[in-house]
Structure 1
Amino acid sequence: MELSLKGKKVLITGGSRGIGKAIAAAFKKEGAEVGVTARNQSELLQVKQELGVETYQKDLESDQQREQLIQEFIADFNTIDILVNNAGASHGDKIANTPLEVFGKAMKLNFICAVHLSQLASKQMFHNGRGVIINVASIYGKEAGGVPSYNASKAALISFTKSFSSEAIKDNVRVIGIAPGAIYHPNKEWKRRLERDPDFLKKYGDEKIPAGRLGRPEEIGNVAAFLASDKASWIVGTTISVDGGQSRLNY
């Protein structure tokens, strides 16, 4: 399917590895011009060499650096057509064992950063008369299952996606979300689990996912590229689960 994304200017946060890197690869494959941001400079250099993207080393927990990111991206690309808010992390433990500041940290990185970047990028999109913002949430933002502080932050992101979409669509800017289920990529957490039990991934897939396996990052990347295209022009405000049937909800 031709998605007509050639030449689109795309910024992806948390784009140096895992889902974010796969999203960047999907847009590059469609001919888009892509910038990614992350904290780790060595990972950014690697993704730049592999995919040919522009890179921005930023700490998105800083208000100032978020503003700098959007300014620098627009200076480099002259505009911004698509923003993918993918940066995030899981913090904390059971509610009784999680300090309030950890809830605050989760909310800042997984929610507030996306809100602020959406505000900043949408100004240019409103000026252009079109644009797309994709917020990467989680199925655990729709139901219990992950770490409570993570769940809460992703639930807030899903709610924001719906609220902002109702405002932004009036200016032809679509705000939509993706809620991945369990996606395997070799990060520290998956490696830790595999070290403890080499059969962990197979057991997890068999027990928790009707499709019988974990998802692949590129399966999220492909959905992101489709949602950003005009082929998805009537998809507004919803957060789509991409999870091999893992979610227990019927939406």
Structure 2
Amino acid sequence: MTNQNTARVVIVTGTSQGIGHAIAQTYLNNGDIVIGCAFSPLNKAPLAQKMLAENPERYFYYSVDVTSTEAIKQFVNEVEILFGRIDVVVSNAGKNVFKGIDCEESDWAHNFDLNLRSHWYLAKCARPALQKSKGVIVIITSNHAFSTMPGCAPYNISKRALLSLVQSLTIEWGPEIRTVGIAPGFIDTDGNQTWFDSHADGKAAREKTIKKHPVGRIGRPEEVGDLCLFLTSDRAGFIAGTTIVMDGGRSAIMQDEDDA
């Protein structure tokens, strides 16, 4: 899909599993060079090991704690030293911090360090390289940024803030750097399967969730990767400063029948 004559250098955070892993695979399939990172060390990241074995010259993996600004800075510096450029940043790393609005201060701080500050600081560190390449930033937020459920704070609050981060990056760093957001809904990852399995009847919980989606299924991780690839291509050059919801129509439902 890319129009570049040479492979782009793409940073993707949170690539050890789930959506991040699928995004990395999508860019590799497109012929790009992918530098992935996640909190897990390589010896505890089997999917990253497999990806490295299959793409020894185009995939690179780092263990990075993105709650540490110093770790982010070092990671970006190493990428620039090794490759001399950065064309795309997909800021995906994060996790569910579902503690409720009465959460402890430590939960609040950890959530915002991971689910908000890390995205801002990664973009900040990559800015000089992206300005040179006229690059693109994609920030992965969540449909919880638009509407949420009891007990999902403070996660949903940080995800809402990412909508404003996308806007501010766009209006302050454009036109050299284009920024867009993606807000996935229920995506079929191992983490979500663990949530299904936590119910007394995991199969029933899964079927109930599927029925809440007008498209009749939940999302696939590779679909998020495909959207990232499109949004970072020249074909999407007029899309900026906005966050696209991909939730199978879930957010179009005002009220579930079993909640009435």
Same fold (TM over 0.5): yes
Give, in angstroms, the shift of residue 232 of structure 1: 0.2
Runs of 4+ in structure 1 off by over 3 angstroms are none
| 1:110 matched residue in structure 2 | 115
Query: Aligned equivalents of 2:113 and 2:253: distance in 1?
Result: 27
Matched, 1:226 2:192: no
Deviations along 1:176-217, whole A, 9 cap, x unmatched? Answer: 100000001112x522422532322221010x2111211000
Query: Which blocks of at least 5 consecutive residues in structure 2 are unaligned?
Result: 255-260
Query: Aligned equivalents of 2:133 and 2:52: distance in 1?
Result: 30
| 2:63 matched residue in structure 1 | 57
Q: Which residue identity does 1:103 align to in structure 2?
A: W
Query: Aligned equivalents of 1:248 and 1:46: distance in 2?
Result: 38
Query: Aligned equivalents of 2:156 and 2:92: distance in 1?
Result: 15
Q: Map of 1:13-162 to 2, 5 A cutoff?
A: 13-40=13-40, 41=42, 42-43=44-45, 44-52=48-56, 53-96=59-102, 98-126=103-131, 128-145=132-149, 147-162=152-167
Provide the secondary structure at the position in 2 that maps to 1:64.
helix
Provide the secondary structure at the position in 2 that maps to 1:76.
helix
Maintained 8 Å contact 2:90/2:138: yes
The normalised TM-score by structure 2 is 0.88
**Percent identity between the two aligned chains:** 32
Give, in angstroms, the shift of residue 249 of structure 1: 8.3
Provide the secondary structure at the position in 1 that maps to 2:89.
strand
Q: Out of 194-203 and 224-233, give the one that drifted further.
A: 194-203
Query: Which blocks of at least 5 consecutive residues in structure 1 are unaligned?
Result: none
| 1:185 matched residue in structure 2 | 189
Query: Aligned equivalents of 2:252 and 2:50: distance in 1?
Result: 37
Query: Aligned equivalents of 1:61 and 1:46: distance in 2?
Result: 26
Q: CA distance change for structure 1 residues 50 and 195 in 2, over 3 Å: closer, same or farther?
A: farther
Indicate the RMSD between aligned Cα atoms, in angstroms.
1.8
Q: Which residue identity does 2:244 align to in structure 1?
A: I
Give, in angstroms, the shift of residue 99 of structure 1: 1.1
Q: CA distance change for structure 1 residues 153 and 249 in 2, over 3 Å: closer, same or farther?
A: farther
Number of residue pairs aligned between Structure 1 and Structure 2 = 244
Query: Aligned equivalents of 1:164 and 1:156: distance in 2?
Result: 12
Query: Aligned equivalents of 1:202 and 1:249: distance in 2?
Result: 17
